[in-house]
Chain A
Amino acid sequence: MKKDRQFLIGLGLILIFFIFWGLHPINAGTLKTREKITCEDGEEFLVEETEVLKTLIPPAPDGEFITVDTRTLRLTLYQEWKVVKSYPVAIGTMSTPTPVGEWKIIHKGGNWGDGFGLRWMGLNVPWGIYGIHGTNKPNSIGSRASHGCVRMFNRHVLELYNLTKMGTPVYILGELPKVSLRREITRKSTGRDVLIIQYSLRKSGFDPGPADARFGPDMQKAVLQLQYLYGLAPTGKVSLNEQYLLGLRKI
């Protein structure tokens, strides 16, 4: 009798644990605070704040947002479409490019030790740890020198860090990567090909939500709208038909 009760209590505790674990939102920003990370540049940061993504950002932001133009190598902070600050930056090389897309700041933290790099603002890029941070190589600013991260002068990153909040949209503008697409891409897929499809859907007049390389419900809705308009089977998946229609696949 006592053993039965203990067994049931144990089972109940396990069940409660799984319920709470299951309730935890699943997405890119699941770092614990005070956790060390190493970005694509090889620099180490201590994450002090993290955000678990719950909502997606719209492509036309109101309020605060950042753009990083990979053509002019400038980072600009906007507040309601007005320029607040603009800084020169270093971005990734041709072989390790800075990821073009519509991201969000999901980590904020600082450097420890000798203070190089100073501050870190991590982005929700699904295929790597990319972010905006300071540098101990100030001569690289204004060139393509990093492994994909956006480097700033330390005094600038400190300033930007204090001006921005978690969840601030970061739009990295430039040329999209050239990748080959999978034959079928479905909901919950992530990757560069998803990013390209998102931009193509938008160009064709269908709103996939933010171009964040994640095949979420907004993107599925956009795919279904495309299929509905053309009279294709409403699968909600991007197969070869949809890729041809979006001009992403050639014969």
Chain B
Amino acid sequence: MLIIKKKLIYSLLFVLFFTAGFGVAQYFYHPRVKIGGYNILCNPKAKINPKKNYNLSLWDYQWPVGDDKAGYREYLDQAIADFQKIYPNIRVKVTLLDLLEDSERLNQTLKNGMAPDLYCSAFETPAFNFRWQVPVGPYLNSKEKKEYFTEFLKPVELDGVICSFPRWSSWGIWIGNRSLMEKAGFSIAKIQNAGWTWEEYLSGCRNMGSGNFGLVGNPGQSGFFLQLLANSGNFDPIKGLQWNTPEIGKTLNLLGELVKGKMISRDFDSNALGQFLSGRALVIAGIHPIIDNFLKSRLRDRVITWDPVFLPVPSHIPQQRVLLVENGVICVYRNKKTAGDGQITSAIRLAQFLSLYQEVRPWKELRFFPAGKIAAARWLQELSAEEAMFWQRTVEKAIVCNLEKKAGDQEQIFPVLREFCTGKITKEEAESRLSNYAR
């Protein structure tokens, strides 16, 4: 009896130790990457099984491109078809979201554990989801990472790990009226190459002559106020855009000079385009670069007779040029139906493929700068030499910073700026209200 009991105990102990050892081995074998204090599971060594079919779900946005404005779906289908030439066993189901369907829908699916395998964002980099998101950096070797501009990898990194694929970025740049600028004594080539200071900008505005305006545009959430704030000096590339009272004060001083000199009109925002098209505004600011297509079409139709030119945002410190960008990134998620590490790897490869896809027609039309170097080179080819030089120089010289939009920004910032720029409130009051806004 004693022998049987001992044998039983030894057997049980053996099974117990074996199970524990197996579990520990599994735990340590399954690779992890540490982000934000969490260990995130990922298995970059997992391969795509060519004999197995994978079904991926992809969410993207319905961008109005093409002659009939319905060309984006065709573009995406072609991209997926090209991907399937390499991976014929990977099927992709595409859902195109309306432009205003913000990340709330994604957040809901993340809560339910049913996020799509791939999510292509619009004008934002979604916050990293520690439970379901797969960081993509471990799946890339150094050669693959070099295919992207380093400047566009930084906004998608967390603790040094690339969390999503950068795809394109919409830049916070201004557009100027070449004729009016040259009359005011500006050298477009010099500004595009080396930037311009606030002093230079104000001085040129004063040279314009009465009846003209130094600035029209949108001061709001993704508009010129934050762009100027980022360029008010003391920008910390690590901390990003800071909402500090001294910087707010400096930025309001600049705008105050324009208000004092009657260089901002009452309808600088609601009739920004009208004033710019009429040739009376030096720059239009705080609007997405897609406006360039509209302006060029007006030029072709001879509605305007002057060239629109891209300009960097004026900077308080000449050596520091900050470029605020709104990104389109591709995030990869696991979900409750994810069929193993092979599926995650297939999603990673699809996301990588789409982020570097060299057919750039939609991005040209939308004026989104591609994050991949080869795609960007193709994008630049179609521009004039001067324009191409501007985009290239900007990405080389500027400090790229992701514009983080916060709920409430538009409602809090925009009305204050509107009242200040139209002279309804003083600089002190505007500064107080903006500083009190807990951004």
Contacts and interface: CB of A to CB of B under 8 A. Distances in A.
Contacts of B220: 233-234
B218 A233 contact: yes
A251 B274 contact: yes
Given A230-B290, A231-B222, A225 B99 contact: yes
Given A204-B64, A232-B287, A250-B303, A241 B69 contact: no
Contacts of A229: 64, 99, 288, 290, 366
B234 interface: no
B277 A205 contact: no
Interface in B133-177: 170
Interface residues of A, number: 23
Contact of A230 (B269, B277, B288, B414): B288
Nearest to B269: A233
A228 B100 contact: yes
B383 interface: no
Interface in B304-349: 304
A239 B99 contact: no
Contacts, number: 71
Nearest to B418: A233
Nearest to B294: A245
Interface in A193-235: 203-206, 221, 224-225, 228-234
B273 interface: yes
Contacts of A204: 64, 69
A188 interface: no
A241 B99 contact: no
A251 B99 CA distance: 29
Contacts of A225: 98-100
B100 A224 contact: yes
B256 interface: no
A232 B218 contact: yes
B410 A245 contact: no
A240 interface: yes
B273 A244 contact: yes
B64 A234 contact: no
B277 A251 contact: yes
Contacts of A184: 270
A32 interface: no
Interface string B64-80: 11000110000000000
Most buried by B among A231, A240, A245, A249: A231
A204 B365 CA distance: 13
A140 B294 CA distance: 46
A102 B123 CA distance: 34
B267 interface: yes
Contacts of B303: 250-251
Contacts of B267: 240
Most buried by A among B218, B222, B270: B270
Given A205-B70, A231-B223, A251-B278, A245 B273 contact: yes
Interface string A48-82: 00000000000000000000000000000000000
B218 A240 contact: no
Contacts of A231: 170, 218, 222-223, 286-288, 290-291
Contacts of B273: 240-241, 244-245
B427 to A, nearest CB: 22
Nearest to A242: B273
A250 B290 CA distance: 19
Contact of B100 (A203, A221, A251): A221
Contact of B64 (A205, A232, A240): A205
A206 B278 CA distance: 27
B49 interface: no
A43 to B, nearest CB: 41
Most buried by A among B123, B222, B274: B274
Contacts of B288: 229-231
Nearest to A250: B303
Contacts of A205: 64-65, 69-70
B241 interface: no
A232 B220 CA distance: 8
A225 B62 CA distance: 11
Contacts of A234: 220, 410
Nearest to A240: B271
A241 B100 contact: no
B122 to A, nearest CB: 9
Contacts of A249: 274
Contacts of B366: 229
B272 interface: yes
Nearest to B287: A231
Contacts of B414: 233
A240 B271 CA distance: 5
A245 B271 CA distance: 11
B270 A241 contact: yes
B99 A240 contact: no
A62 B259 CA distance: 56
Contacts of B69: 203-205
B108 to A, nearest CB: 19
A60 to B, nearest CB: 12
A103 B269 CA distance: 35
Nearest to B410: A234
Nearest to B68: A205
A233 B410 contact: yes
Most buried by B among A204, A221, A228: A228
Contacts of B100: 221, 224-225, 228
Given A231-B222, A241-B271, A250-B303, A206 B287 contact: no
Interface of B: 64-65, 69-70, 98-100, 123, 170, 218, 220, 222-223, 267, 269-274, 277-278, 286-288, 290-291, 294, 303-304, 366, 410, 414
16 contacts: A203-B69, A205-B65, A205-B70, A225-B100, A229-B290, A230-B291, A231-B170, A231-B286, A232-B218, A233-B223, A234-B220, A240-B267, A240-B273, A241-B272, A251-B274, A251-B303
Given A231-B288, A241-B270, 9 more contacts: A225-B99, A228-B100, A229-B99, A230-B291, A231-B170, A232-B218, A233-B414, A250-B303, A251-B303
Interface of A: 184, 203-206, 221, 224-225, 228-234, 239-241, 244-245, 249-251
